[in-house]
């Protein structure tokens, strides 16, 4: 494979995984959440840059507040010669649009903003209808927040199925689900999700959840795959650990002469995940895409990384809690029971 920072990669080199329904998704996508740090225009410029490097998969969401700008970039990318069918564009319905009819409204808005006729994948961003204002602090509490209510979630899912039947979305997926919630969805849905987007990085491996998804033919897509070093303040706590300074990761990075971030991505892809790292810098975009093409971690290195799981969830979601006396663990059904 001949590729340089100037030329980028031959698109044919970027591997794709086949989902349960036969759809083919590139193993590395570009995340587009600017983490309240990078402006919509900066993220949008990075989308054009990423496409010139060989990216064809972009992970978007209405709540990222930049779909209009990302849409202009996608238009540019297609004017530059990339065909729509080569692209894989994901978007997500935000928590404030779960109600009757709103998922359809939200999807149509994302399509308009992104300048597309259809989405390759549409996700329910969180299983809760609870939301927070942009830039809020970590202890924000929404007095209207509710626990997970299965009937309400299925009303949301029914609208996802309508969008699929109307051809506006080609694949359905979930995000931030747990095993008990996914079991309920699988029992009640007509059209199954083919993807679950979930936090995965070496210090937060979620092996049971990954195994459950794979056993049910639901492809895990790992978000914050580098350990989200630029995440917003509200998502930081003193207990958080850092993947890219872990001695095991550093040792492998030194052997391969790559940034520790690249080791995190290689580990995930070698494990069979899709990764959606965020980057706006050309060098980072380039090495992140390359990480999806090089299965160079040895069996011993893969085993060593399995051993550094610190069960350290970074995106805890505490701003979605429905009672003030709760802790973020209540969102994640740790004992197998959905908290009410």
Ligand X SMILES: NC(=O)c1ccc[n+]([C@@H]2O[C@H](COP(=O)([O-])OP(=O)(O)OC[C@H]3O[C@@H](n4cnc5c(N)ncnc54)[C@H](OP(=O)(O)O)[C@@H]3O)[C@@H](O)[C@H]2O)c1
Piece of the chain touching ligand X by CB under 6 A; list 2-10, 95-103, 207-215, 228-236: 228-236
* Selected binder of ligand X within 56, 231, 290, 313 (CB under 6 A): 231
Of positions 148, 278, 320, 322, contacts ligand X by CB under 6 A? 278
Show the tokens assigned to 232: 């917003």
- Distance of alpha carbon 133 from alpha carbon 232, whole angstroms: 13
**Cβ closer to ligand X: 231 or 316?**
231
Report CA dihedral (28, 67, 129, 170) to the nearest 10 degrees: -60
64 has catalytic annotation: yes
- Among 8, 26, 31, 292, which residue interacts with ligand X (rule: CB under 6 A)? 31
For residues 76 and 102, the answer to whether their CB atoms sit within 8 Å is no
Question: Measured from the CB atom, is 241 or 324 closer to ligand X?
Answer: 241
- Catalytic residue, chosen from 9, 38, 64, 148, is 64
Q: Which of 39, 241, 284, 306 binds ligand X (CB under 6 A)?
A: 284
The Cα–Cα gap between 289 and 268 comes to 13
* Binders in 82-121 for ligand X, by CB under 6 A: none
Least distance to ligand X, CB of residue 5, Å: 12
Q: Are strands 24-26 and 16-18 parallel, antiparallel or unpaired?
A: antiparallel
Check binding of 315 to ligand X (CB under 6 A).
yes
**Residue 131 three-state SS:** coil
Residue 226 near ligand X by CB under 6 A:
yes
Residue 175 sits in the site that holds ligand X (CB under 6 A): yes
DSSP secondary structure string for all residues of 219-259: EEEEESTT--TT--GGG--TT---GGG-HHHHHHHHHHTS-
Residue 36 gets the label, from left (phi > 0), alpha (psi -120 to 50) or beta, of left
Count Cβ atoms below 10 Å from residue 254 Cβ, excluding itself.
11
Q: Distance (Å, rounded) from C-alpha 315 to C-alpha 256?
A: 29
What gap in Å lies between CA 243 and CA 264, rounded to an integer? Answer: 8
Question: With binding defined as CB under 6 A, does residue 45 bind ligand X?
Answer: no
CB of 123 to ligand X, least distance (A): 7
| CA 68 – CA 112 distance, rounded (Å) | 8
Using CB under 6 A, which of 53, 263, 279, 331 touches ligand X?
A: 279
Chain residues 124-153 in contact with ligand X, contact rule CB under 6 A: 125
Return the residue of 72, 176, 178, 206 that touches ligand X, per CB under 6 A.
176
Which residues does the annotation mark as catalytic? 64
The binding site for ligand X (CB under 6 A) comprises 31-33, 35, 59, 125, 175-176, 197, 223-231, 259, 261-262, 276-279, 284, 287-288, 315
């Amino acid at each position: 494979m001949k590729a340089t920072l100037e030329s980028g990669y031959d698109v044919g080199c970027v591997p794709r995984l086949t989902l349960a329904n036969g759809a083919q998704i590139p193993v590395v996508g570009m995340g587009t959440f600017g983490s309240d740090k990078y402006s919509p225009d900066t993220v949008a410029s990075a989308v054009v840059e990423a496409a010139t490097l060989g990216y064809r998969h972009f992970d978007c969401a209405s709540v990222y507040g930049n779909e209009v700008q990302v849409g202009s970039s996608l238009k540019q990318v297609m004017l530059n010669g990339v065909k729509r069918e080569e692209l894989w564009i994901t978007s997500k319905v935000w928590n404030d649009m779960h109600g009757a009819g709103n998922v359809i409204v939200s999807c149509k808005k994302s399509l308009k903003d992104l300048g597309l006729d259809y989405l390759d994948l549409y996700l329910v961003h969180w299983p809760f209808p609870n939301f927070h204002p942009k830039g809020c602090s970590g202890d924000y509490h929404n007095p209207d927040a509710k626990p997970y209510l299965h009937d309400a979630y299925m009303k949301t899912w029914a609208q996802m199925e309508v969008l699929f039947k109307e051809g506006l979305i080609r694949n359905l997926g979930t995000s931030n689900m747990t095993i008990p919630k996914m079991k309920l969805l699988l029992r009640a849905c007509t059209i199954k999700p083919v993807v679950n987007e979930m936090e995965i990085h070496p210090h937060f491996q979620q092996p049971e959840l990954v195994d459950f998804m794979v056993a049910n033919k639901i492809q895990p897509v790992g978000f914050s795959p580098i350990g989200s070093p630029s995440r917003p303040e509200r998502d930081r706590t003193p207990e958080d650990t850092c993947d890219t300074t872990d001695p095991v990761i550093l040792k492998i990075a030194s052997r391969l002469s790559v940034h520790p971030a690249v080791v995190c991505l290689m580990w995930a892809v070698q494990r069979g995940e899709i990764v959606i790292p965020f980057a706006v810098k050309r060098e980072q975009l380039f090495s992140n895409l390359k990480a999806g093409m090089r299965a160079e971690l040895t069996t011993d290195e893969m085993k060593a990384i399995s051993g550094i799981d610190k069960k350290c969830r970074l995106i805890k979601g505490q701003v979605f809690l429905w009672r003030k006396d709760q802790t973020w663990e209540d969102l994640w059904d740790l004992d197998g029971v959905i908290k009410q």
